[in-house]
A and B are shown apart, each in its own frame.
Chain A
Amino acid sequence: DTAVSQTPKYLVTQMGNDKSIKCEQNLGHDTMYWYKQDSKKFLKIMFSYNNKELIINETVPNRFSPKSPDKAHLNLHINSLELGDSAVYFCASSPTSGRGNGELFFGEGSRLTVL
């Protein structure tokens, strides 16, 4: 059973297009995240939702819009794609229990290539 699943795994598109990446977790966690991993493997947080409420919103262009229809799903929509958006996008989830144990469970990533 996949704990955190993302679709699609690969996405190739033209500049200027709009695309979405979907994420689902079956771990019963309350908190979900989007991270971006660039070509140098650097991982940076983009957004976090706790029980469908936006908690973390880093300095991300407003072309990126996350949506959490319920606490098991967190989708990422990107408008007007640019070359610099090419990266691997990781979804993750974590439990909420007091301070939490801190562990994030990551999906396998969605590799976005903008041509």
Chain B
Amino acid sequence: QQQVKQSPQSLIVQKGGISIINCAYENTAFDYFPWYQQFPGKGPALLIAIRPDVSEKKEGRFTISFNKSAKQFSLHIMDSQPGDSATYFCAASKYNQGAQKLVFGQGTRLTINP
């Protein structure tokens, strides 16, 4: 059972365009929703994150939009650059006994064409 569903699986955007990746979750107990960026041969690295009491969070060109009632959240990358080409993972988690159990989406391979 996939608790976090992510789409699209792959995305091609022109330089300067807006990249949008969507995720939906099922478990209402989740209390933390991060996005991770992964380059080939590297581990995932935190890009931006949001808690469910906030509907939007913006950090530079990256924005998370969060819809608690619909149990959906999305990542928007404004003015997309070739250096943004990577695999992006949404995740959801609940903090328990000192551990953050992240449940990841399936990933989106983003390619920004110059």
Give chain A's interface residues, CB within 8 Å of chain B. Answer: 4, 30-31, 33, 40-45, 48, 50-51, 55-56, 90, 92, 94, 96, 99-100, 102-104, 106-109
Complex interface: chain B residues within 8 A of A103 (CB)? 34, 46, 49
In the complex, identify which listed stretch (B18-26, B74-82, B90-98) lies at the interface while the others stay far away: B90-98
The 10 closest A-B pairs by CB, nearest first: A106-B43, A50-B98, A48-B99, A43-B104, A102-B32, A96-B98, A55-B99, A41-B107, A103-B46, A99-B95
Least CB distance from B98 to A in Å reads: 4
Least CB distance from A64 to B in Å reads: 17
The reply to whether B104 and A42 contact each other, CB–CB distance below 8 Å, is yes
Interface size on B, residues (CB 8 A): 27
The residue of chain A having its C-beta at the shortest distance from the C-beta of B33 within the complex is A102
Query: What total of A-B pairs shows CB separation below 8 Å?
Result: 71
The residue of chain A having its C-beta at the shortest distance from the C-beta of B31 within the complex is A99
Give chain B's interface residues, CB within 8 Å of chain A. Answer: 31-32, 34, 38, 41-46, 49, 87, 89, 93, 95-104, 106-107, 109
Chain B interface, DSSP helix/strand/loop, else mixed: strand
A48 to B102, CA, bound (A): 11
B102 is contacted by which of A30, A45, A50 (Cβ under 8 Å)? A45
The reply to whether B95 and A108 contact each other, CB–CB distance below 8 Å, is no
The reply to whether B101 and A48 contact each other, CB–CB distance below 8 Å, is yes
The residue of chain A having its C-beta at the shortest distance from the C-beta of B98 within the complex is A50
5 CB-based A-B contacts, threshold 8 Å: A31-B99, A43-B102, A94-B100, A102-B49, A102-B93
The reply to whether A104 and B46 contact each other, CB–CB distance below 8 Å, is yes
The residue of chain B having its C-beta at the shortest distance from the C-beta of A50 within the complex is B98
Complex interface: chain B residues within 8 A of A33 (CB)? 99
A4 to B107, CA, bound (A): 22
Q: Given A41-B87, A45-B102, are A50 and B97 neighbors across the interface (CB < 8 Å)? A: yes
